[in-house]
Chains A and B, each alone.
Chain A
């Protein structure tokens, strides 16, 4: 989940170090996006499905 600086008053005037610390703290939230391999796997399934005919 991205941290929106514009909409987040607590981040006004934030230092780069503090920002990096917050991103680090939030890393777990982004932990389960698909890896490139997983994405390719799903892409292949969808592609095979699209091209299939009896």
Chain B
């Protein structure tokens, strides 16, 4: 299969109107995600609720290959039942265990529908993992978290990228979040 490397063919930039004006229109094939990137991401940024980045091709015409939005978050162990909390805490050095651990939320991810099937989503996740372990990172951040759409394709994607379920079952998660539309998943940046 032909390959496409984000690192080789693209540049990553904060997503703004200048990018939209200088790039071909973007669609990942999901209406909600497209709408978010087209109309809402700027507002999120202005309100300091999320920052969106894009990978665009270096060659012209510039094509937006992928977009993703990040926000600060945390994993609060008070929202976990005792056995899940104990299981989760095994990730953490005994002397540093607490009620809350810093995390970065991957709020949205979209890959250009014309470039799906090139492993770009996983390349993106791999980049984010490394980016948050990079020495220039400004804050302590132990986990990546994602509230993944509860469908087999999306869950499989995050499982393949070594994310784990915060709650063992949908039922357990529903007790805390009152919905089974999404599943909270995390990746330990120490692993």
Provide the main secondary structure of the chain A interface. Answer: helix
Residues of chain A with a CB closer than 8 A to B191's CB? 31-32
CA of A38 to CA of B134, assembled, Å:
9
Q: Is the CB of B93 within 8 A of A41?
A: no
Q: Is B189 an interface residue when CB atoms closer than 8 A count as contact?
A: yes
Residues of chain B with a CB closer than 8 A to A29's CB? 93, 190
Closest residue on chain B to residue A26 by CB atoms: B93
Neighbour of A44 across the interface among B7, B18, B22, CB < 8 A: B7
Known: A31-B190, A31-B191, A42-B131. A48 touches B11 (CB 8 A): yes
Residues of chain A with a CB closer than 8 A to B62's CB? 54
Closest Cβ of chain A to B15, distance in Å, is 12
Total A residues in contact with B, Cβ cutoff 8 Å: 17
Q: Is A39 an interface residue when CB atoms closer than 8 A count as contact?
A: yes
Closest residue on chain A to residue B55 by CB atoms: A45
Closest Cβ of chain B to A4, distance in Å, is 11
Q: Is B97 an interface residue when CB atoms closer than 8 A count as contact?
A: no
Q: Is B12 an interface residue when CB atoms closer than 8 A count as contact?
A: yes
Q: Is the CB of A39 within 8 A of B22?
A: no
Residues of chain B with a CB closer than 8 A to A33's CB? 133
Which residue, of B13, B134, B191, has the highest number of chain A Cβ atoms within 10 A?
Answer: B134
CA of A54 to CA of B62, assembled, Å:
9
Closest Cβ of chain A to B174, distance in Å, is 32
Known: A45-B12, A49-B12. A54 touches B131 (CB 8 A): no
Closest Cβ of chain B to A26, distance in Å, is 8
Q: Is B127 an interface residue when CB atoms closer than 8 A count as contact?
A: yes
Closest Cβ of chain B to A8, distance in Å, is 9
Those of B1-55 within 8 Å (CB) of chain A? 7, 11-13, 18, 22
Q: Is B87 an interface residue when CB atoms closer than 8 A count as contact?
A: no
User: Which 3 pairs across A and B sit closest by C-beta, in order of nearness?
Assistant: A54-B22, A48-B11, A52-B11
Please list 22 pairs of residues, one from A and one from B, whose beta carbons are closer than 8 Å in the complex, sorted by A's number: A31-B190, A32-B189, A32-B190, A32-B191, A34-B130, A34-B133, A34-B134, A34-B135, A39-B135, A41-B7, A41-B130, A42-B131, A45-B7, A45-B12, A45-B127, A45-B131, A48-B12, A49-B12, A52-B11, A52-B13, A54-B22, A54-B62
